[in-house]
Structure 1
Amino acid sequence: MEQQKNIKQRTSKNRAGSDQQVENNESRTASKGSTSRHSTKKTATKTATTSTLASVLQGLVLSVLFVFLASYLITDSWFWGYKGKYLNQRYWFPPKEIVFTQKELAKYDGSDPTKNIYLAIRGEVFDVTAGRPYYSKGGGYGFFSGKDASRAYTTGCFQTHLTHDLRGLTPAQVADVDGWASFYRNHQKYFRVGTVILDPIDPNSPIPEDCRQPVAAKPSS
């Protein structure tokens, strides 16, 4: 009897262990299934997001291309006729500022084809090398190169006013000079490279004579 009782107890334990193992296996299988479904869902979401971003980027690229093409067809330029500083790579990658003396600046007057051409307005120095045909020696604006000729920009006296002396100018004329500085500052091809140390103007020296003033009549005798 005792032996039969022991056999029954062992059989019961074995059955219980077997049932527990089955439950554990089922639990692991269910867990794996849940993980697999979660992973599949996550992958699908990621794919959908990537596809949406790709579509958005594609739409943006096509829109930009359309704008450029329309600009070229309508204005014969890719940027709707814009020719400002934002198309100048020097605006985005400006050179290191240089400080010149007037003597040093004079070396860049366009007479040496191996050197850049600089001019100055109110102490600001600009590189106008891109306009070499105009700013080199003999060019239409060559008299501005290698110096600060601020006064001549507003008076138009290109012989006697090639100086930074602004004494005697009206506020409107000074504003005109500043406008020219802004022109070079915001140009598509020209750009600022630094400043020039200008010699002080002797306040007792005569103000440059306006070349457009009427010539006095000769005396009769």
Structure 2
Amino acid sequence: MDGRQQPTKRSTKKQRQPEDPIVTANPHRRTHASHEKHASSSSSKKQSLIQGLLLSILFFFLSSYIVTDTWLWGYNGKYKNWRRWVPRKQLVFTQQELAQYDGTDVKKPIYLAIRGEVFDVTQGRPYYSRGGNYGFFSGRDASRAYTTGCFQTHLTHDLRGLSPAQIADVDGWADFYRNHPKYYKVGTVILEPIDPLSPHPEDCNKPIAQKPASQ
């Protein structure tokens, strides 16, 4: 050895550099950020969809009013009555209970029955209250009178003796109330049984027997 200090051997190992913060970022944090971005995008799409739907509904009603002067393109059926959309328990009446809703008490609704079904006709109070043109139908099941037009002796649910055509006519009136835009069904009435041996209701138009002229 010549006594000279040997040069220090330089390490060929690459010095460790600071880690890239992007590479070492918490993967859970990246996933959370991705989820937030996706949720924001989904929320924006839902909001746009709702806005589009509301505008379509508004356009539907405005177009209907401009073209037909009505909000529902001239529709005037039963579903126009908002009460049909409200869930309600159907009531069961006795004939005596139903009679309390004949329009006499202005604080109570007006009910009538046909074919055992009870309908609220309060919206037609001028017609169905006592003294109205159809007041005799209120508070009872007068199914027979709907087809015979006999409002003196046929205000009853007794349909005996009617023809098939007359029965169909009564059913047609029942459909009238079922599909009316203002009237709606509230329940049923328990009808008293008819004695099959009892005479049929007398026809209003039946000629009245005249007393023979005195001789």
TM-score category of the 2 structures, normalised to the smaller one: 0.7 to 0.9
**1:172-209 Cα distance to aligned partner (Å, 9 max, x none):** 22122122222212222211111111111111222123
> RMSD of aligned C-alpha atoms?
3.5
2:15 to 19, 29, 49: 19
Where 1:99 maps in the other structure, the secondary structure is strand
- Quick one: percent identity of the two aligned structures? 61
Query: In structure 2, what is the equivalent of residue 97 of structure 1?
Result: 90
| Deviations, residues 47-101 of structure 1 (Å, cap 9, x unaligned) | 5554444443333222221221121122221111222222223212243222211
| Uncovered stretches (5+) of structure 2, i.e. residues with no partner | none
Alignment CA distance shift 1:98-1:36 (3 Å):
closer
2:189 to 193, 196, 205: 196
* Superposed counterparts of 1:3-152, under 5 Å: 19-20=15-16, 22=17, 25-26=19-20, 28-32=21-25, 48-152=41-145
Determine the C-alpha separation between the residues in 2 that align with 1:60 and 1:206.
Answer: 63
Aligned match for 2:147, one of 150, 154, 158: 154
Relative to structure 1, is the Cα distance of residues 51 and 99 closer, same or farther in structure 2, using a 3 angstrom cutoff?
closer
Aligned runs of 1:165-184 on 2, under 5 Å?
165-184=158-177
Letter in 1 for 2:15: D
In structure 1, distance between residues paired with 2:208 and 2:102:
35
Q: Secondary structure at the match of 2:188?
A: strand
Q: Which has the higher helix share?
A: 1
| Residues 29/44 of structure 1: CA separation in 2 closer, same or farther (3 Å cut) | closer
For residues 94 and 29 of structure 1, the distance between their equivalents in structure 2, rounded to whole angstroms, comes to: 59
Is the alpha carbon distance of 1:100 and 1:37 closer, same or farther for their aligned partners in structure 2, counting shifts above 3 Å? Answer: closer
What TM-score do the two structures reach when normalised by structure 1?
0.78
One-letter identity of the residue aligned with 2:129:
S
Instruction: Give the Å deviation of 1:142.
Output: 0.3
For 1:153, the aligned partner's letter is: Y
How many residue pairs get matched?
209
Query: Are residues 49 and 173 of structure 1, via their aligned partners in 2, closer, same or farther at CA, if it must alter by over 3 Å?
Result: same
- Aligned to 1:19, the other structure's residue is in SS state coil
Q: Secondary structure at the match of 2:19?
A: helix
